[in-house]
Structure 1
Amino acid sequence: MSSFAHTRLPFHLLFFTTSTSFWGIISSELSEESFPTLLLISKLMKVSLDTLYMTAVKHVFEKSLRPKALKLKNNECSSLINKETAKTVLTIQSYLQSISNPEWAAAIAHRIAQELPTGPDKIHALKFCLHLAEKWKKNISPKEESFERAEVLIKKLTVQYQRSATENVLIAHKLNTPEFLKQIGKPATLIVSLYEHGSVEERIRNPTGRDYPEIHTVAKQISEVNNLSMNKIRDLLLDKWLCPNTLPQAS
C-alpha cells in the first residue's frame, strides 16, 4: 500500500457521500497546488463553487499567511508581502474575485483584513474590501433590500480604511503617541494638533538640529486619506493663531 494512504483521503468516496462529508474531505486537501484539481472535481459534482472559493480563501490564508501575520503584530509597519508570499496574496485575491456572490466575497475579505496587523498590508486589504463592496453595490438595484446592506458595509469599511491608513502615517513618521492615536477618528483635529507638536517650534529655533518629523508631509497624507481640504485646515490654523480666544493679559 502506498505511503500516501496513511495521510491522504480516498477521493472515490466523494462520489458516495453527503454534501457535508464532501466539504470535509475537500477542506482537508485544499492548498494552492491542489485547488485546480479540486475545482474540476467540484464542477463535476455540481456543488457550490462559491463555497469552494470561500473555503480556499480561508484555508490558504490560515496555512500560509496567518502565522506570518501573528509574528508581525509586534513589528510595526512590517509587510507580509515578499517574494515568498506575493504569489499567495495574488492567489487569494483571485479566489475572492471568482466568488459570484459579491456580498460573500466582501464579507470573507473583510474577515481576513481584520486579522492583519496595523500596516500597509491591512490598508491594502481594506482597500480591496472596499472594491468588492462597491462592486456588490453596483450590481444591485437601490430598491433591493441588500442595497442598504451594501451601503452600510461601504461606510464601515471606509471608516476602518481611513483610521488604519491614518494610524499607519503616524507610525511611519514616528508620531504614534497616545495623544495623537486618540485623535485618529477626528483627522482635522489631529492635523491641528500635529502643527502644535513641540518639534515645530524647536525646528524654527534650531533648523540644523536633530531629525524633525515632516509635519507638512504627515498633514498632507492624512488629509488625502480622509478626503479633507488642507486649505480649510490652514484657514482654521490661521484663525486659531492670529485670533486666539484668550488674549495675553496686560502687565
Structure 2
Amino acid sequence: MKPLSRSSAGTLYHQLLGVLRGRIESGEIGVGDRLPSEADLVSDFGVSRTTARRALDELRRQGLVRREPGRGTFLASPRLRSNLAYLHSFSEEIERWGYTPGARLVSREERAAGEEVAARLEIEVGERVLFVRRLRLADERPIFVCDSHLPVGRFPALEDADYGAISLSRLFEERTGRKVEHSRQWIGAATATPDVAGLLEIPAGVPVLEVRRITLVTGDAPIEFVEAHFHPERYQHYNELSARPVEV
C-alpha cells in the first residue's frame, strides 16, 4: 500500500480519512465489512497509531462505523434520520428514505394512569388508559420500541382499534374524526432495559436514544403519550437552527 504524502497540503489524518471514506462510498467496504485495524493502517499508510485511531474515531463519530470490543471496527448500516422541525409519522419517514415500514404489536393492556402519564394526558391519576407496545421496523429491521399510553376514557373509539396498523396518526384521525395537529417532544439518553434490548436485538444496558412525546389532536386534546427507545446505530434526529436577533 502506498504511504500517504507528507508534502501534500492535507494533513496525514485528513488524507487517511479521505481514503477510508472513499472506500466506503465506492462500495469497496460494504455494510458489515471489517475495516483495517489501527495496526493495519499504520503498516499500510505509514502513519502513526494516533493518526490511525483518530481517523477511525471520526468515522465512528459520524455514525459510519461501529466498534465491537475484541473484534474490530465494522461498517454500520445507514442511519435513518428524522427532521425535528416537522411533525410526520414514522411510516412517512421510512418511505421517504426508500425503506418499507412495519409494525409488530408486542402487547396491549389496560392500566391505571400513574402520576406522570396522567399529567401528560391531562387526566386524573388512576383513570383508565390503554398501554400499547409496538416494535417499529424498516425493511424488517428493528428501529425502535414504542410504548403508547392512550386515554380511552376521553376517546372510547380507541379501545378496540387494530394496533397492528402501521400508522397510529392515521388511525387516530379515522377513529376520532380529529386531525393530529402538533406534539410536544423531549429527547434524552437512557439505557436499554432487558425487554427493550431483546426487541431491538442489542445487549441490555447499552445507551439508547429516548424520546418522550405528547401527541395532540384538534382542540388541543392529548391523545397519546409515547415513550420510545431507538436502536443506537440505526436512527438519528436532526434539525437546522437559524440565528435570530436578540430581543431587547
Using structure 2 for the length normalisation, give the TM-score: 0.29
Using structure 1 for the length normalisation, give the TM-score: 0.29
Structure with higher Rg: it is 1
Q: Per residue, is there more helix in 1 or in 2?
A: 1
Greater relative CO (CA pairs within 8 A, separation 6+): 2
